[in-house]
Structure formats: structure tokens, C-alpha cells
Structure 1
Amino acid sequence: MDARQFGTLTSRARRLAVPGRRRILGIAGPPGAGKSTLAAQLVAALGDSAVIVPMDGFHLAQAELNRLGRADRKGAPDTFDAPGYAALLARLRAPEPGVVVYAPAFDRALEEAVAGSVPVAPDVPLVITEGNYLLHDDAAWAPVRALVDEAWFLETDPVVRVRRLVDRHVRFGKERAYAERWVRDSDEVNARLVARGRDRADLVVPVSA
């Protein structure tokens, strides 16, 4: 993403960050599209006016995935606590004076969600939430879109995405051959589901390598 494009997106996000009013910006897209990177860059640019609350904090624990027989599809829509995520977004939309809300985050080194990781003070005007399924309209995910004031969809070249994903899995300890199989058999299956929500976004953001 070049400086001009990022500047345009930052200006758009800043217009949402109105003091005294809580808004939620959602950044969606397939695995490896650059959602967490863009969210972090926006928060760095906006400073105390914004905070990131990642959807990945609602991953089911590995022990629960094992119990459900879904460990081999970790990252699929049914491997998250979607109602819990929607409930948190609803709570964030209506901040209570003096009450800090603590959101979970996902630790990639542990491959587990960690509760109470992200403090959201009531006077922060903009919450940026990012994840695969913000625009997914099946079952428990359907309420999420209405809880987000503005939604962006990141569109990245599939070859670039796959390379990023494999490299990320390797960086966090997986053998490259295993990482390539996981991306092919799991991440890319999820990517096709995520793509179905593209037209529900307010803005489609093309992301170059």
C-alpha cells in the first residue's frame, strides 16, 4: 500500500473518530490480506483516538477444537465464538462512563486466545476490529455487520496472500511443507467463504504486495 492510499484510508478513519461518540470500523478480508497490519498502522496514525479489537480473540481454545473434532479446520467460521464476538461489539457500541471494557486477543506464538488483553477506555471514539468473518452472513455471524458502522474489505492478489500465509506459519514454528498443506486445505477454503461477503462492504481496498 503506497503512502497516498494509506493517507486516504487514514483520513476516512479519522472522520469516524469523533470525540464523544463511539464508532466501530471493521476491516475484513481473507487470511493473509493484511488486515492486522492495516489496523495497526491506522491506530499508530490516529493515536489515542483508536484501539484495535481483533476478531481472532474469539478463537475457540485448542482443547475445545479437539473435543469437537475441528482442530484440522481451525479458522473456519464454526471454530470461533461468534455470538461472544457480536456481544462484545454490542457492548463496545454503548460505552458506559468510567467503565473500561477488556477484550481478548489471539497469541500466535501460543495459538490460543488470551482473555482481558485489550483495554478499551470509554472515551476512545473509534474501535477498529479486524477479521475474516465480519461480512459473513451465515448463522451466528449475521448480526456482526449491523454492529459495525463502516466495513472495509481488503482485496489482495491470491499469490501474494498465499506466500504471506505460508511464511507466517513457518515463522511461528510450522515446517514449510506442513504450512503449505495447511494453507491449501484450510486457509484457502476459508478465503473462498470470506470472499462471499465482499459486496457487503462499504469500501473495497485493493492491496498491492
Structure 2
Amino acid sequence: MNEVYHNLAQRAVQALVRLEAGTNAATPRLLIALAGAPGAGKTTTALAVADMVNATLLPAADPRSMVVVSMDGFHYPRSRLDTMPDPKLAHEKRGAPFTFDAQACVNFVKACRDNTVEHQAPSFDHARKDPVAGGTVIPTLARIVLIEGNYLLSDEQPWKQISDFVDEKWFIDVQPVLARTRVAERHVLSGITKDLEAGYWRADNIDLPNGVYIKEHLVKPDITVESIEEIAR
């Protein structure tokens, strides 16, 4: 995937250059939405691209030239799930669209265009299994903000508004069998399930159906890349 990361990093910088050439703003900010099914490798890709941009492609800029924000911070807290019509179902289906504060995510993406003020986004604490307010900071010097998450390119409201606010729309496709293994193992490592069997049950009943939903409701991306399993050498 290193070649994919490098190509995406170059694409981000080239898009920033085009944005700079087409505006009178002194330091415009590029917004990128990166979406994909659970297990597609969104976070891994986003962080790898940001590392490349910050380390090699924009070396003269601020060290935080590119900042990554995860949509996971916009999960509703467990206390909010408790108030839903079917709390048991809400907890079981956590990760489905209705378990996110979609409007708050949309509002955040819209606000990110303004780089005259520092923005804060919630992060997600996997140990506490809840979002943390202000866990991610977007400094005024950040030139590129990449937001990654499952539903950022959904064609349903209010998610659909995001595609109008961002400059680049990226999608990571993944084969279901690979996504299934990844998310099952991740559920065990994060403590969501006690063993791999339960992890696969959750993958089959929650994550993979969410992945199908994501592809069925996908706004046309600017670029699609295929997630692959790299072989250790």
C-alpha cells in the first residue's frame, strides 16, 4: 500500500496547490473526506498519507500541515444510546448511521474551512468506549484537513452535505472477506468482544451490513483505491 499512500499524498498536495492558485485567500485550507467500509483501512491510510505530506511534501510548512480527524469522535455517547427507543438495539448496532451525531459531523466539516480560528473535534476513547470532547485540535496553520469515516460520502441527509463542503472525495474499497477478518480481530484487540468468535459474529451481523450500506449510498468519489493485505517481508 505504500505506493497508494504516496500517490494520495501527492494528490493532496497537488489539490492544495490548485486551491491556492484559484483563490485570493492568503493561506486557503484543503478539506478531504475519506470514506470506506469498516475494515477498509481508513485510519491507517489517513495517518500514512498525513505522515508523508508532513515529512516530505510540505517540509517548509508547519509540522502539523496536514491533520487527520476521525469520524469516530461523532459517535453518540452510550448515555445517549440509553435514551433511544430501543436502547438494547442501539448498543448492539453501534456503528450504524443512526448511532452517530451526523449533524454535528456536518457542522464540523463546514466550520473547518475557516482557518482563522482553532477548531476542536471530538476523538474516541476505545478504552472508555465513548467520545472525548476536544480530543483532536485543528490549529490555524493546518493547510490540509482530512476527515476519515464510514459515512462521510453517504448520499443520505444530512451526511450528503459533506460532499459539498470538501475539495476532495476519496473512497477506499475493500473485499468483504478481508474486511471481515480485520474488524473481527480489531474487536478483540479493542475489547469490544471477548474472543474472535464473537468478533466474527459482530463483523457478520453489524460491520459487513454497514459496509454494504456504505457502497449502496455512496456519493461519486473523486478517486477510489483498493485496500489490500500487505505481506510482511
**1:41 CA drift (Å):** 0.6
Q: Which has the larger radius of gyration?
A: 2
- Equivalent position of 2:120 in the other structure: 102
- Deviation, 1:85, is 0.6
- How many pairs does the alignment contain? 206
Query: Equivalent residues in 2 for 1:1-209 (5 A)?
Result: 1=1, 3-18=2-17, 20-47=27-54, 48-68=64-84, 69=87, 70-96=90-116, 99-173=117-191, 174-175=193-194, 176-198=196-218, 200-209=220-229
Cα pair distance change 1:199/1:83, threshold 3 Å: closer
Q: Is the 8 A contact 2:71 2:147 kept in 1?
A: yes
CA distance in structure 2 between the partners assigned to 1:41 and 1:197 by the alignment: 27
TM-score by length of 2: 0.84
Q: Greater share of helix residues, 1 or 2?
A: 1
- Residue 123 of structure 1 aligns to a residue in which SS? coil
In 2, Cα distance between equivalents of 1:44 and 1:37: 11
Aligned-pair distance for 1:83?
A: 0.6
Unaligned runs of 5+ residues in structure 2 are: 21-26, 55-63
Whole-angstrom CA distance in 2 between matches of 1:180 and 1:163: 7
Query: What is the rounded CA distance, in whole Å, between the counterparts of 1:5 and 1:139 in structure 2?
Result: 30
Please tell me the residue identity of whatever aligns with 1:181.
Answer: W
Give CA-to-partner distance per residue, 1:170-206, whole Å, 9 cap, x none. Answer: 1112222221111111111111111124451110101
In 2, Cα distance between equivalents of 1:7 and 1:139: 33
Shift >4 Å, 4+ stretches: none
Native 8 Å contact 1:16 1:126 kept in 2: no
Q: Mark the runs of 5 or more structure 1 residues left unpaired by the alignment.
A: none
Name the % identity.
32
Distance (whole Å) between structure 2 residues aligned to residue 126 and residue 25 of structure 1: 8
Match for 1:123: what amino acid?
A: L
Tell me the C-alpha RMSD between the 2 structures.
1.4
Q: Which secondary structure state, in structure 2, belongs to the residue aligned with residue 74 of structure 1?
A: coil
